[in-house]
Homo-oligomer: A and B are copies of this chain.
Amino acid sequence: MKPTIPKGMRDFSPVDMTRRNFILNAICQVYRQHGYRQIETPAMENLSVLEGKYGAEGDTLLYRVLNSGKLPEGPAKIHDLSEKGLRYDLTVPFARYVVMHRNEITFPFKRYQVQPVWRADRPQKGRYREFYQCDADVIGSDSLLNEVEMVQMITEVFTALDIRTELRVNNRKVLAGLAEKLDIPDRFMELTIGLDKLEKAGLEKVMDEWRSRGIPSEALAKLEELLANSRPAGEPGGHLTEFLRGSEPGEKGIGEVQSVLDLSGREGNASLKFDLTLARGLNYYTGMIFEVKCTEKDSQFGGSLLGGGRYDDLTGVFGLPGVSGVGISFGVDRIHDVMTGLGKFDNRAPGTVTRVMFVNFGEAEAGQALGMADRMRLAGIATEVYPDAAKVKKQMSYADANAIPFVALLGSEEIKSGNVKVKDMRSGEQEDMTVQALIEKIRKDGET
């Protein structure tokens, strides 16, 4: 039988792992530097926890796990067959975690979490049925300093990853104020859904859609004017601020945006911009919202590399109301694709940390090599002894395929002399030296 892998899922080979670990480590290192603490939740959650949390479409995309034991007799009903599902995101399991552990948690609670999630989505380029999420949230604090910290962390991550991006921010209160002042407070949903589509579909199409959904033409005219005036600025600007005057959420939202822009400090690879068209429509956000787009080579890398925002009530659905928080989630796969496209991985070591391999010339020589390899490792140098006394050419190909920079040859001649012959696989140069000299050579090489 020829084995297969489920559609939309991936194996990660050593080279893929090196790249993904590089990205995840960069993100988690920033999280830790800001005092976020890691948790993990199980891959499976009870369906009562998952269902109804991701909208009607989300429920159809949940992976459900069959109950153990005998199947029920008669026609199958879904809730007789299954009571557990696979993690769909990290937010709902986190909310469940907070409620169940609330007596051990000291609030504000800053947590990060890096785990795969599963969605029974139609697979397509760049969209998988299993993928990692890498979230940070702080809950139990209303302070805008948390939003400022999120902006700082985002900037630090993209600086560490060496990708130029634009971090666009908006505030759902600004959008609520907008709906209020446009006199369409009951059309908030249509407004935000349309704003989210603007970039892809263009103003004309969205205007048509708004019009066809019955949003009055006066409101649309005003909206068009505001959009034309506020988009390029990167700051809320006088025009919008003026328009929102008198709307309580509108004024509050503008103030929050301004504070975040003012307090966020250090510059880096995420240029911070207010964008009135950012809406993150279908989410549960209630305050500041964030989105990151790559700005390298323009349009080649569409899609957002990060999303996030403030929510007012994470855990209310599980019986613990009033827990506000703010969180961000990096799109690890998309960051991977962007970095690959930009050639950021071209010079990175491919999935191995081995610095030197000893050629195997047979039992007696290999026995000596084992001892030397052990000494190398004690000095902190990752070392292999080729396990079989195969042809030297074959052993060299192995070193080559695994990008091992140095090969050590320890034949009977060398054993007699107390030296080892060392080949630099990149330059082809060969040199006899003591083990101690080899250790120093490799240490020095690692520093360059």
Residues of A within 8 A of B (CB): 1-6, 9-14, 17-18, 21, 32-35, 37-46, 48-49, 60-61, 63-66, 68, 71-78, 81-82, 84, 86, 95-97, 99-101, 104, 106, 108, 110-111, 116, 118, 120, 130, 138, 141-143, 145-146, 148-149, 152, 156, 263, 265-266, 317-319, 351-354, 357, 360, 366-367, 370-371, 374, 377, 382-385, 387-389, 397-398, 401-402, 404
Contacts and interface: CB of A to CB of B under 8 A. Distances in A.
A351 to B, nearest CB: 5
Contacts of A108: 387-388, 398
B100 A5 contact: yes
Contacts of A385: 145, 149
20 contacts: A4-B49, A5-B42, A10-B42, A11-B42, A11-B101, A13-B101, A14-B111, A32-B382, A33-B382, A34-B384, A37-B352, A43-B43, A65-B66, A71-B75, A71-B76, A75-B75, A143-B360, A145-B360, A148-B370, A156-B377
A138 B387 contact: yes
The 9 closest A-B CB pairs, nearest first, are A76-B76, A14-B37, A35-B384, A9-B42, A106-B401, A143-B387, A35-B354, A12-B40, A64-B66
A40 B66 contact: no
Nearest to A111: B14
A80 to B, nearest CB: 9
The dominant DSSP class at the A interface is: mixed
Given A45-B6, A76-B75, A142-B388, A39 B66 contact: no
A38 B17 contact: yes
Nearest to A32: B353
A13 B104 contact: yes
Contacts of A1: 48, 317-319
Contacts of A371: 265
Contacts of A37: 14, 17, 351-352, 402
A374 B82 CA distance: 49
Given A44-B130, A152-B374, A106 B398 contact: yes
A71 to B, nearest CB: 5
Contacts of A46: 3-6
Nearest to A14: B37
A35 to B, nearest CB: 4
Contacts of A367: 263
A388 B149 CA distance: 13
Contact of A81 (B66, B104, B352): B66
A82 B111 CA distance: 35
B39 A65 contact: no
Nearest to A352: B37
Contacts of A61: 68
B76 A81 contact: yes
Contacts of A387: 108, 138, 141, 143, 145-146, 149
Given A11-B41, A82-B66, A34 B382 contact: yes
A355 to B, nearest CB: 9
Contacts of A45: 5-6
A110 to B, nearest CB: 8
Given A60-B68, A65-B66, 13 more contacts: A1-B319, A5-B96, A9-B44, A11-B100, A34-B384, A35-B354, A44-B118, A64-B66, A68-B120, A71-B76, A106-B397, A141-B387, A263-B367
